[in-house]
Amino acid sequence: MLNWVNKKRISLIFLFLGSLTGFLYWRFVGCSTGTCPITSHWYASILYGMLLGWLVGDLIASFQKVGPKE
């Protein structure tokens, strides 16, 4: 388990940042009418933020693994 956490450290950091960003977006921007599918509920904003954070973190981690070719 600890080995997996070390491998996915960057993705997990971005997952947390994405969830925080999703919550802050819901809190301060949100949807005043309640008809927006993502931003009308706090849990939907957090889940989408977590998904995007994980994808961005995994993308960045994959670029770090690929070093210069010799």
> How far apart are the C-alpha atoms of 23 and 42, rounded to whole Å?
6
Q: What global pTM score does this model have?
A: 0.81
* Of 5-9, 22-26, 45-49, the least confident: 5-9
Read off the tokens for 66.
């690929």
Read off the tokens for 36.
């927006």
Q: What are the pLDDT digits (tens) for 31-68?
A: 878 788 888 888 999 999 999 999 999 999 888 766 66
How high is the pLDDT of residue 67? 62
As a three-state string, the secondary structure of the chain is: CHHHHHHCHHHHHHHHHHHHHHHHHHHHCCCCCCCCCCCCCHHHHHHHHHHHHHHHHHHHHHHHHCCCCC
